[in-house]
């Protein structure tokens, strides 16, 4: 078992940073565009409750698409997998994460998996709660539990900015509303979804969530069983088959670490029974994944043989 | 020049009615589903200001998709074709009228033509007016002018019903808003669009509008030039290439009359320099066209050689 | 009725030639790439058996896609429209002429119309004959009859060149063979089809064929009824809705002349009861239509009001 | 480590057989249609060179799509991954295994992964050899080495039958030839490919190949290193993300065993460092996977916790 000293990580971060100049910070959300392209931090949270890291691992960033896997875990807890998978499928797609085409061409209409935007919106629409506030509060508490950090909150500025510009996500929602996949107010769903995407944390928090998945749902600090082994397994499977947008297949072949990325530049990785990984590197490649984050995971996977395959 | 006696028309209507039992009344809008499947009426308004007809040609129905060609004529008047065709294309598609696929797969995103829903929504979004009310008022006045009938209004029940259920059209709108094809509030656009689709008239009114197109834009009663010859020509071309949903090609081959249909069962046809045709037959075929209306136009076209080809 | 002097045509040709520099000669077939980009000739064959022209109207070129409408006329004669339209549809598509996508996505699989490659291959596969030689011979004789010119033959060099490189057309054929749309040997079909595309003529011949369609199937010179009025009408309809690749809709709106183009730079146009038009201008626009040929038809249509709409 | 007695397996086979009546034997190849729908056999070849089994594990069947992963391993040995992945991608698709659509819509054209037919044909076209015979001979020898069984051969009847009817695969080949993904004669490629699909073995052989992958490329009997650890890993990854047609995602979620199926009803599974699995159950579900084979793997995975996630 490796990856146990900060120096090892620092060397890999230094190497991985070389590719940041080939990436671009997401610019479609003003708040994201202010990020520093050259940032790269990584935290590795071991199942034995130790942590190694490199870079500024306390810099906050928003989860964006990483939140998809957490919302999925919550609704799987709420409803069980049988119901959840009547609303969203389990198949990877070869399409971009925001594509609407297959909602029309597949019969009956159903988002192919919960990691593409359509599927993630369907998942969020299932969060239990009497009001929109209660639904979001439940998600937030779940994430506070996963990080064992009550200070986790969302960034109002980013949430508002996304709420005011997410036309494509609204198109996906209305298409699914037409086909009975989601119900209720699209604006309310957009409100929760943009808040969910705007939940802030730092690499250390993110690594800790990864460690919960690495331990089949048990929190390494609190030893609490937060999610069942079955749900942890389902989430890791989706991270492997669909976690890195439409570069997931290549990532599985080359790196083989269950991982989920977001356009803020975050990546959460899982090395089962070893550790969780939290990365923040805001320069993105053309598929929307952190360019230096992927390079770092490639170096980690090679050095410590982390591929699950 | 034929089609000059009511008896001729009545014979054809009797023949055409035989196919109504193979059709179905649109049921996705409650107000439409109340229509009588066996209804069939036709009015032929000649350019010499005479009119022949058969059936109850004063029964009111809503325009639905027939309104697309009238809104197009209005925005072509307002903006000229150069601007209008930056927002909507001129090509027929082989896809259903409510398809969203090509908005994603064609680059840059642009609805292929103004007769599919996406294109029609883009057209309606261009209607000039300081407020939503003014925009709709202008369209209504234009249609009153085309029919020379100040009593033309819209059906509030149908408009409300469509406004409350048009999720797919909202999906199209938001997708286009994402790509800068439409601007402003989608809900306001849906308000005008559903009112536009709910404008009521009867076969006689509709035939009169057809006669305006047959006379290159001049009203046969008032002799007023309502639209330019160029705009009349453009509208007739779209009616020919895209007017009958994705059965337009077959209709052009078999019948060859520039025509536009709506899911209420209305069809407006044009025989250039001869007459306009207004039909109401609410039983639809599987493509959404009036089944007896199409049969009637086929009989008319064969008997009087009305194909423009 | 205009277009009666060579001087009028020469002025329009001079004007139209200005756009040739924006076009490109087809380069995927070596024999075609040798064409002179600045060439432009036009012949107008009037139904009164007179002819006006400008440019070198005796320069030979290959028909390419123009042959699609002639093969269609022949199989409609051979089999009648009912059978032919079980194998090929009547709907325009918004897709490129060589697209294979809709053969998979439309159920049951059937080429949407006879002017796209898939549909044209299905049409050619229907030509009657005991052997491949007899089938092609029958098509050639039909075209000799349409031009009243026994010298019409095909260019072996172009045919061979196309036969040796038409991988995409073979893909279309095998896909259709899988779905029972075509039967028999694909290589034999490719042999006829590439010969068909390589049939050579000049603008005068082509204008004469246009005149046959303008006269509802009667040859202006021989006064022979070569095809029925119904077949002539069907062909003119397809030329209008699908004749100019996926620019057909725009061409119908702007110009409104039933026309069929080929990648050699030829265009055959029809002004019903007036004349046929034959054009050769090898510089193509990005859709594969003669760039100066389209400009010339636009000038002709505006000057003489040739739009059928 | 479980699955060590034949009795355990027999119980699971008995349970799994209950679903065979919901499946159908492949009927598009006459030789396959003769299979007995109720057959189900399984062999588990442990890395310690022991074997457990249930059912008639010496009944021969053809590999069909299972051969895709073996041909991939061979060309990865021949060329290295860098070259191979210039011709074929690494991404799962949501499309059927024989789909052609993405070859047209993805730019540049490239099959998304080596487990769909297009990708598998591209892979087979890369097998090294001076002649077609030599290429196939090399593949056969490689498979004989993987099974440690010199008697492995192909079924001429099945190969001929597939060669004479594989029109869709020819369409895929010609489409790829057009885009430079494959070169040379399509008929020769079809000859190798249909022979490859027709290679016969029984469950025991198949389980042994699975064991080679389970041991990172080392044969459990001969202790020979047949493929590198890297190639074994790549193959297991593709089996996980794309091995079960467009049910791969669901299979990964529910079962989580790297596996590859074929329409003959065979499935090869891998439990890393434990054993290889060979299954033959010719009744297929609607996606083309052995219906009782999938049920059996589900029972095995649950009982022995075989999911890699």
Q: What is the pLDDT of residue A36?
A: 92
d(CA D303, CA D169): 39
Q: Which residue has the tokens 């019948």?
A: B255
Give how far B147 is from chain A: nearest CA, Å. Answer: 35
Helix (H) or strand (E) holding A269: strand A266-271
Task: Say which DSSP state A43 is in.
Answer: E
- The number of C-beta contacts closer than 8 angstroms across A and D is 99
Picking from C167, C172, C189 by the largest number of D CB atoms within 10 A of its own CB, the best residue to mutate is C167
Give how far C95 is from chain D: nearest CA, Å. Answer: 11
Looking at chain B, which residue has its C-alpha nearest residue C240?
Answer: B241
How far is the first Cα of chain D from the last one, in angstroms, to the nearest whole number?
17
What band does D1 get if pLDDT is binned at 50, 70 and 90? Answer: low
Residues with Cβ < 8 Å from A55, sequence gap 6 or more? A13, A39, A40, A41, A42, A203, A280
Name the active-site residue from C13, C19, C42, C65: C65
Q: Are C203 and C293 in contact (CB under 8 A)?
A: no
Name the residue with higher pLDDT: C106 or B212.
B212
How far is the first Cα of chain B from the last one, in angstroms, to the nearest whole number?
17
Q: What is the pLDDT of residue B288?
A: 93
Name the active-site residue from B19, B45, B245, B264: B245
Residue C24: Cβ-neighbour burial (10 angstroms; 0-12, 13-18, 19+):
middle
Looking at chain C, which residue has its C-alpha nearest residue D187?
Answer: C187
Give how far A244 is from chain D: nearest CA, Å. Answer: 11
Picking from A76, A82, A92 by the largest number of D CB atoms within 10 A of its own CB, the best residue to mutate is A92
Picking from D94, D174, D182, D184 by the largest number of C CB atoms within 10 A of its own CB, the best residue to mutate is D174
pTM (2 d.p.): 0.96
Looking at chain C, which residue has its C-alpha nearest residue D170?
Answer: C174
Q: What is the pLDDT of residues D176-224, one digit of tens each?
A: 999 999 999 999 999 999 999 999 999 999 999 999 999 999 999 999 9
Q: Is C65 annotated as a binding residue?
A: yes
Name the active-site residue from D263, D271, D301, D304: D263
Looking at chain B, which residue has its C-alpha nearest residue C244?
Answer: B91
Q: Is D263 annotated as a binding residue?
A: yes
Q: What is the pLDDT of residues C262-304, one digit of tens each?
A: 999 999 999 999 999 999 999 999 999 999 999 999 999 999 9
CA D169-D175-D181 angle, 5° bins: 100
Q: Do C171 and D167 touch (CB under 8 A)?
A: no
CA A251-A256-A261 angle, 5° bins: 50
A contacts of D234 (beta carbons < 8 Å): 253
From C95, C234, C309, residue closest to B240, measured CB to CB: C309
**How would DSSP label each residue in B245-306?**
GGGHHHHHHHT---EEE-TTSEEEEEETTTEEEEEE--EE-TTSSBHHHHHHHHHHHHHHT-
Of B29, B28, B265, B36, which Cα lies nearest the Cα of B160?
A: B29
Q: Do A237 and D90 touch (CB under 8 A)?
A: no
Q: Enter the tokens of residue C47.
A: 């139904």
Residues with Cβ < 8 Å from D80, sequence gap 6 or more? none
d(CA D264, CA D283): 9
Q: What is the pLDDT of residues D236-249, one digit of tens each?
A: 999 999 999 989 99
* Domain layout of chain C by residue ranges: 3-61+202-304, 65-197
The hierarchical CATH code for the domain A3-61+202-304 is 3.40.710.10
**Architecture, CATH, for domain C65-197:** Orthogonal Bundle (1.10)
**How would DSSP label each residue in B56-111?**
-TT--EE-GGGHHHHHHHHHHHHH-HHHHHHHS-----SS-TT--HHHHHSSS---
Q: Do C92 and B237 touch (CB under 8 A)?
A: no
pLDDT one digit per residue (tens) for chain B, 309 residues: 577 899 999 999 999 999 999 999 998 777 788 899 999 999 999 999 999 999 999 999 999 999 999 999 999 999 999 999 999 999 999 899 999 999 999 989 999 999 999 999 999 999 999 999 999 999 999 999 999 999 999 999 999 999 999 999 999 999 999 999 999 999 999 999 999 999 999 999 999 999 999 999 999 999 999 999 999 999 999 999 999 998 999 999 999 999 999 999 999 999 999 999 999 999 999 999 999 999 999 999 999 999 999
**How would DSSP label each residue in chain C?**
----SHHHHHHHHHHHGGGGGG-EE--SSHHHHTS-TT--EEEEEETTS-EEEES-TT--EE-GGGHHHHHHHHHHHHH-HHHHHHHS-----SS-TT--HHHHHSSS---S-TTSHHHHHHHHTT---SSHHHHHHHHHHHHHHHHT-TT--B-HHHHHHHHTT-HHHHHHHHHHHHTTSS-S-HHHHHHHHHHHHTBEE-HHHHHHHHHHHHTTTB-TTT--B-S-HHHHHHHHHHHHHHTTGGGHHHHHHHT---EEE-TTSEEEEEETTTEEEEEE--EE-TTSSBHHHHHHHHHHHHHHT----
Give how far A172 is from chain D: nearest CA, Å. Answer: 18
């Amino acid at each position: 078992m490796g990856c146990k000293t900060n120096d090892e990580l620092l060397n890999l971060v230094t190497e991985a940073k070389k590719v940041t100049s080939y990436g671009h910070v997401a610019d479609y959300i003003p708040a994201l565009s202010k990020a520093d392209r050259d940032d790269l931090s990584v935290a590795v949270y071991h199942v034995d409750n130790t942590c190694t890291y490199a870079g500024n691992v306390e810099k906050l960033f928003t989860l964006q698409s990483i939140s998809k896997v957490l919302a999925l875990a919550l609704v799987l807890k709420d409803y069980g997998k049988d119901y959840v998978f009547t609303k969203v499928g389990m198949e990877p797609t070869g399409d971009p994460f925001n594509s609407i085409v297959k909602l029309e061409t597949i019969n009956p209409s159903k988002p192919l998996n919960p990691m593409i935007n359509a599927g993630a919106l369907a998942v969020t629409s299932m969060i239990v709660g009497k009001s929109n506030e209660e639904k979001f509060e439940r998600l937030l508490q779940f994430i506070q539990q996963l990080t064992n950090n009550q200070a986790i909150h969302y960034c109002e500025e980013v949430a508002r900015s996304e709420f005011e510009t997410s036309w494509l996500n609204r198109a996906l929602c209305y298409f699914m509303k037409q086909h009975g996949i989601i119900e209720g107010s699209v604006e309310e769903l957009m409100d929760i979804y943009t808040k969910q995407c705007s939940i802030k944390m730092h690499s250390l928090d993110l690594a800790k969530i990864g460690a919960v998945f690495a331990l089949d749902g048990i929190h390494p600090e609190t030893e609490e069983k937060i999610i069942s082994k079955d749900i942890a397994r389902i989430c890791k499977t989706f991270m492997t088959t669909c976690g890195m947008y439409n570069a997931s297949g290549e990532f599985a072949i080359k790196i083989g670490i269950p991982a989920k990325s977001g356009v803020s530049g975050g990546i959460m990785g899982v090395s089962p029974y070893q550790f969780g990984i939290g990365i923040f590197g805001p320069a993105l490649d053309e598929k929307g994944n952190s360019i230096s984050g992927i390079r770092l995971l490639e170096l980690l996977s090679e050095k410590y043989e982390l591929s699950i395959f």
